[in-house]
Amino acid sequence: MAQRVTAVFSSIATLIVSFLNVQKVKNAGIQTLNISSWDAPFGITLVSDMFSAILVFTTSLIAFLCLLYSFKAIGEAREKYYYYPVFHFLLVGVNGAFTTGDIFNLFVFFEVMLMSSYVLLVLGGTKIQLRESIKYLLVNIISSALFVIAVAYLYSVVGTLNMAHISARISEVSTNGMPGILTVIAVLFLIVFGIKGAIFPLYFWMPGSYYAPPAPVLALFGALLTKVGVYSITRTYTLFFYHDRDFTFQLLSILAILSVVAGVIGAIAYWDVKKIIIYNIIVAIGVILYGVSVMNPTAITGSVYYLIHDMLIKAALFLLVGVIVAITGTSNLKQISGLITRYPGLGWTFFIAALSLAGIPPLSGFVGKLLIVQGGAAGESYIGAGLVLMSSLLVLFSVMKIFIHGFWGQTRFYKGEDKVPVKWLLISPVILVVMSALFGVGSESFLPYISQAAETLTDPRIYIEAVLKE
């Protein structure tokens, strides 16, 4: 009980502070904090621009709702082994990664996040968790080693770790085009963050690893962990490596499009409700990074918008899938049917979430994807824009397969379903779906915030001047 009370109090406090920070950045511009009074670029600086501030607020909201869900879903066995403290250590890593202005500290916060995720993945000790945790651990150890190597190479070229200062130094040496060594470093960072963000072909570890943990942990992983990788690619490519778009951004575009294709194929192929939503993570990552690769204001705005949308809706869908599995005792879609007869709230909430995921207007997925497609067309990237648009239909098919086969058809009765606290478990996903719907319907109210975030990404000088006080 003490762990629960402390966890709720700290989550509410974080949510309030992160909301106030968004408003502060909106009104007063980028906020910086120099640790131990060492001015940038010599000390470690925390930087909160609108992009990071929105991500921290969204993370805090999702975490709070996953926490409420956990009270009835995680079980005493996991609670007894410090589930809630590890839960919050994960948030320290995620929010730290979004906020740090130091590239080495980004590595440090990645490690805090990953160490917490190792514990959450294995907590419970089931056979599948232990098997998948080994693969997850090995992949991330290799990724972390590559991260340190990439940072070391970058430091050897620019002589600084402050991200704003790195950008300024790269601009100085790239007046006649970006040197080859920086292009190599850019590809190294893409590999590192691509493993963590699960882009094609580096997503091989994710379907199995994310399948293993319980629903609230899966929701956290699906909504937050891969998005830290996406954030890191977006931040480094828009702040550091934007001088050589012919190669680095073209490579990012190709991998993003292939991620969309691979994710759609997986989502359509499987009849497991968890796997269908997990493969849709890969689709969303591809869509977001395609917008980043186009690198014009419209596409970047769409990518930021779609990123926030996807965090909300993926968390909602994984929590809803958790309710389905709790009721039926299985994630095999062929063994589920007729749920809407006795659980209409669950059914219609899932239906709205499915429409939002696919980008059906006027829900939030439509706004972000429309801007990305418009940006792609403006940048004459017609093939990519067409594939992103086409993916909406296939994503809709994959999630409607769950709705049609799982909620309609012959009503079945499942062993132990009367013991499942469905009403409590629905609170968190319903709030997330409502927030996602408002994010789409009320897009005019949210676009000024998203546009401010995109402005910093498209014009690195804003970030540099705010941090270095030039």
For residue 175, the model assigns a pLDDT of 60
Q: Number of folded domains in the chain?
A: 1
Q: Which residues of 38-61 are buried (b: 16+ CB within 10 A; e: fewer)?
A: eebbeebbbbbbbbbbbbbbbbbb
Whole-number Å distance between alpha carbons of 52 and 29: 12
Rounded to whole angstroms, the Cα distance separating 410 from 418 reads 19
Burial class (CB in 10 A: 0-12, 13-18, 19+), 256: buried
Is 467 or 174 the better-scoring residue by pLDDT?
A: 467
Quick one: which of 188, 372, 240 has its CA closest to 295? 372
Task: For residue range 130-182, list pLDDT tens digits in order.
Answer: 888 888 889 999 999 999 999 999 999 888 999 999 998 988 876 656 678 88
Tens of pLDDT, residues 64-81: 999 999 998 888 888 888
Residue range 303-312: average pLDDT? 95
pLDDT digits (tens, 9 = 90+) for 33-47: 988 778 878 888 999
Range of the domain at 95: 1-468
Q: What residue type is 79 in one-letter code?
A: E
Mean pLDDT over residues 332-361, rounded?
A: 91
pLDDT in tens, 413-441: 888 788 889 899 999 999 999 999 999 99
Band (pLDDT 50/70/90 cuts) for residue 443 is: confident
User: How far, in Å, CA of 288 to CA of 274, rounded?
Assistant: 22
Q: Among the ranges 33-47, 111-125, 296-310, which has the highest mean pLDDT value?
A: 296-310
Q: Give φ, ψ of 469 to 5 degrees.
A: 55, 40
Distance between CA atoms of residues 404 and 394, nearest Å = 15
CB 456 within 8 A of CB 51: yes
Long-range pairs, 454-457, Cβ under 8 A, ≥24 = 454/51, 454/297, 454/300, 454/301, 454/303, 454/304, 455/297, 456/30, 456/49, 456/50, 456/51, 457/51, 457/234, 457/235, 457/238, 457/239, 457/300, 457/304
Residue 243 has pLDDT above 80, yes or no: no
Angle ∠(365,371,372) on CA atoms, nearest 5: 90
Report the pLDDT value the prediction gives residue 264, as an integer from 0 to 100.
Answer: 95
- CA separation (Å) from 241 to 178, 189, 246, 452, 466? 8, 10, 11, 21, 19
Are the C-beta atoms of 85 and 3 separated by less than 8 Å? yes
Could you tell me if 418 and 326 are in contact, meaning their C-beta atoms sit under 8 angstroms apart?
no
Q: How far is CA 28 from CA 22, 50, 458, in A?
A: 10, 11, 19
CA-to-CA distance for 418 and 427, rounded, in angstroms?
A: 18
Is the pLDDT at 405 greater than 70, yes or no? Answer: yes
Whether 60 and 11 have beta carbons less than 8 Å apart is answered as yes
Query: What's the DSSP call for residue 33?
Result: E
Beta bridge pairs of residue 92: none
What beta strand segments (E) does 374-441 contain?
none
Which positions ≥6 away from 257 have C-beta within 8 Å?
286, 290, 383, 384, 387
* Selection from 304, 433, 300 nearest residue 357 by Cα: 433
pLDDT (tens digit per residue) in 195-225 = 988 898 888 888 888 888 889 999 999 999 9
- How many C-beta atoms lie closer than 10 Å to residue 262's C-beta? 18
Report the C-alpha dihedral over residues 140, 145, 148, 151, rounded to 10 degrees. -80
Task: Round to whole Å and give the CA distance between 197 and 331.
Answer: 25
